[in-house]
Structures are given as structure tokens and as C-alpha cells.
């Protein structure tokens, strides 16, 4: 079963000496492939030391990363054939017009995650997959068009209404911002399942041509991409669920979703309030709740920072640049000082952010 269907990397307590030797070899290999001018520019970025250590560490763990296709895809190419093999035990369950993916009687934990993997990394006949391509789900012995999954998932999205069970919403919308969630039957798991929706929201941003076009979900709500992302934006700016980022994984991806929406539909979202909120409320180490050492939350924050610095519509002051420099230096000296034992998933988010910061640093004031 793929990581999106429930796999996860664990902490390891083995000797670090062989890994450090491999890391040194990997670092020298990466340096040899870097043009001198690019290497000098990257070295000038504030995170150069941390980035080099993470690059080398992940290079030395490549075999393990191959088992984590979603996270590998954040930093490198995912081999299509290997992805198909990784999804060999993933099947679908159907009830009426509802479809859901999972394996061994367990639904995928993040709604839309496997569909996102297929649309982003599967290469049928050597080309990028589209919604009209059909993927053979081996446990079902049936090929299913990805569009059928996409359409079913859209109907499963809903906006929770406080104090109301989903089945009693009857088309009402919440009066305060809520993170969209997914709700679907999964018979082998014994009933109705509810998950986060960040992967599917990303797909909607990428595939819906009109963000205002409405559709009706299973609980009677009339939704659109614009409405859903508006709730994500207001939820983020209201600092909702502060300190409980892991209660709904979409919390960790709010900045990424908002910036993806702004890139696709630039006239519908101003990124400046997002940047200001991030600087005021997230550019601090602290001790995020819900995780033993904070590396999951901080890895995602580094990724959000990278996406913000890479956005050409966003401007930074010299003081803000210094704050970014100090924050990344604190990561290097603090929670990411020793990389052994940190789950590889967290490091992939961190590395993506560090790369984006390094690539954008030269244009900051």
C-alpha cells in the first residue's frame, strides 16, 4: 500500500557513523554536479549549511524514499513504473455514485491523495496522466477512469457546520470559516469515513477552469472552488485552530493551497495578507502541539516560507529578510541539528522549502 494509503516512515535508532559517511559522499557528489555560479549563489543563501546536510541525508536514504512516492515527488522525479507497483494493493470501494480508494480494508487517510499521485506522477504511454485515463486497480481487476474518482470526490467535499452532524446539514453553509473535509462510505471499514481534503483541494485548483462554477454535494451544499478556498483563506487569517495543526492535516497546507490558487487565478486572491500573517504568526520556532519534536509542523512551515519567497508578486523588506535568515539558522541549530531519527517525510517538506528560498534569495532586498 502506498504512503498516501496509510504508509509512514518511522524513527530509526541505528548507528549514525555509516550514514554520515554516506552523507559526505552524497554531498560531494551533489557539489560536483552544481555549476560554480549556481553553487556560489546557493552558498550565499541563509540556509546553505542546513540545505546541504538535508540534501546529503536524503540522498543517502534514496531507497527508503522510493517507498514514499508522495514525499519523494516534492523533491525529485517519481518513476511511473515504480509508482504503479507501489499502488498494486490499492483498490476502490463503490456505493451508488460514491467511490473511495484504500487497501486491506482501510481507506486512504488523506482524501484525494492517491488520485493526486496518479495525476501528478503516473505516465501512461510515456505522457502525463489526465482525467480521461483509466487506471487498473488490481484488487478490483477493473480499470477506472480517473474522472469518475474526481467527480465522486467533488460530491464528497463538504463544509462542516458547527453543532450539526453532516447528514443533517441540509444544504446550509457555516457562518464562520471552516476547513473543507471529505465524507464517504467505505463498506469494508464499517461505514462512513471522514478525512481531510487538502490533496483534493489542490486538484480542484489545478483542474477547474472556472473557480466560481457551482456544484452540489451529497449534503445539499452548493460549492465552488472560490467558495472553498475563501474558507481556507479566512480560516488561515483568523488564526483558527492555532496550535492544533495536526488535528486536520489541511492546516499544514493552507499557505500552499492559497498560493496555488493565487497563481492559477491571480485576480481572485491577494497574497500579501497571507505573507503578513505567516510572518506574524508562523515564523517562530516554539513547540507546536500534537508532535513530539515539532519537525512535521516546522518542515511544512519551511515549505510555506519557500513558496512565499518564490512568489514574484510578493515583496520583502530588508528587516523581513533578516528575520527569515534568523529563523532558518535557528532550525539548523535546533530541531534539525541532528537529522537521524527525523521522519523522511518531514525532511522532504523542509528541503523543498529550503530549495525555494535559495533559488529566490538573490531577488530579495
For residue range 93-147, what is the model confidence (pLDDT) as tens digits?
999 999 999 998 899 989 999 999 999 999 999 999 999 999 999 999 999 999 9
Using alpha carbons, select from 217, 226, 235, 202 the residue that is nearest to residue 307.
202
pTM: 0.86
User: pLDDT per residue over 302-358, tens digit each?
Assistant: 999 999 999 998 989 999 998 899 899 989 988 899 999 999 999 999 999 999 999
Confirm if 182 and 157 have CB atoms less than 8 A apart. Answer: yes
Burial 296-307 (b: 16+ CB within 10 A, else e): bbbbbbbbbbbb
Rounded-to-integer distance, Cα 310 and Cα 363, Å: 10
CA 69 → CA 79, 97, 305, distances in Å?
A: 9, 29, 23
State the cell numbers at 150.
474526481
Using alpha carbons, select from 97, 83, 98 the residue that is nearest to residue 4.
83
State the cell numbers at 118.
496518479
Rounded-to-integer distance, Cα 102 and Cα 345, Å: 20
CA 309 → CA 25, 218, 305, 355, 364, distances in Å?
A: 30, 39, 6, 11, 8
195 phi, psi to nearest 5 deg:
-135, 170
Rounded-to-integer distance, Cα 301 and Cα 298, Å: 5
pLDDT of 7 over the 60 cut? no
Collapsed DSSP state (helix, strand, coil) of residue 107: strand
CA–CA–CA angle 48, 345, 343 (5° rounding):
90
State the cell numbers at 356.
525555494
User: pLDDT per residue over 169-200, tens digit each?
Assistant: 999 999 999 999 999 999 988 889 999 999 99
Amino acid at each position: 500500500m502506498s504512503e498516501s494509503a496509510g504508509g509512514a516512515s518511522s524513527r530509526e535508532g541505528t548507528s549514525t557513523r555509516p550514514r554520515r559517511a554516506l552523507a559526505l559522499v552524497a554531498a560531494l557528489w551533489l557539489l560536483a554536479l552544481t555549476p560554480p555560479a549556481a553553487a556560489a549563489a546557493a552558498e550565499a543563501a541563509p540556509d546553505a549549511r542546513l540545505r546541504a546536510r538535508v540534501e546529503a541525508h536524503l540522498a543517502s536514504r534514496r531507497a527508503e524514499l522510493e517507498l514514499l512516492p508522495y514525499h519523494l515527488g516534492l523533491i525529485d522525479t517519481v518513476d511511473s513504473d515504480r509508482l504503479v507497483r507501489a499502488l498494486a494493493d490499492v483498490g476502490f470501494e463503490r456505493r451508488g455514485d460514491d467511490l473511495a480508494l484504500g487497501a486491506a480494508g482501510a481507506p486512504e487517510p488523506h482524501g484525494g491523495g492517491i488520485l493526486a499521485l496518479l495525476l501528478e506522477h503516473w505516465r501512461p504511454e510515456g505522457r502525463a496522466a489526465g482525467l480521461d485515463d483509466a487506471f487498473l486497480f488490481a484488487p478490483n481487476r477493473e480499470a477506472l477512469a480517473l474522472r469518475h474518482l474526481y467527480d465522486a470526490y467533488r460530491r464528497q467535499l463538504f463544509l462542516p457546520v458547527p453543532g450539526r452532524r453532516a447528514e443533517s446539514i441540509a444544504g446550509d453553509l457555516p457562518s464562520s470559516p471552516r476547513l473543507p473535509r471529505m465524507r464517504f462510505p467505505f463498506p469494508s471499514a464499517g461505514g462512513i469515513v471522514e478525512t481531510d481534503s487538502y490533496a483534493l483541494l489542490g486538484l480542484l485548483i489545478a483542474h477547474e477552469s472556472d473557480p466560481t462554477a457551482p456544484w452540489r454535494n451529497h449534503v445539499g451544499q452548493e460549492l465552488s472552488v472560490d467558495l472553498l478556498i475563501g474558507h481556507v483563506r479566512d480560516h488561515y487569517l483568523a488564526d483558527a485552530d492555532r496550535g492544533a495543526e495536526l488535528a486536520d492535516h489541511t492546516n499544514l497546507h493552507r499557505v500552499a493551497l492559497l498560493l496555488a490558487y493565487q497563481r492559477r487565478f491571480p485576480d481572485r486572491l491577494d497574497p500579501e495578507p497571507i505573507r503578513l500573517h505567516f510572518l506574524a504568526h508562523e515564523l517562530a520556532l516554539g513547540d507546536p502541539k500534537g508532535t513530539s519534536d515539532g519537525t512535521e509542523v516546522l518542515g511544512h512551515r519551511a515549505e510555506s516560507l519557500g513558496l512565499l519567497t518564490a512568489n514574484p508578486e510578493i515583496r520583502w523588506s530588508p528587516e523581513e529578510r533578516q528575520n527569515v535568515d534568523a529563523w532558518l539558522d535557528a532550525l539548523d541549530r535546533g530541531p534539525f541539528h541532528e537529522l537521524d531519527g527525523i521522519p523522511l517525510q518531514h525532511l522532504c517538506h523542509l528541503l523543498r522549502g529550503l530549495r525555494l528560498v535559495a533559488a529566490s534569495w538573490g531577488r530579495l532586498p
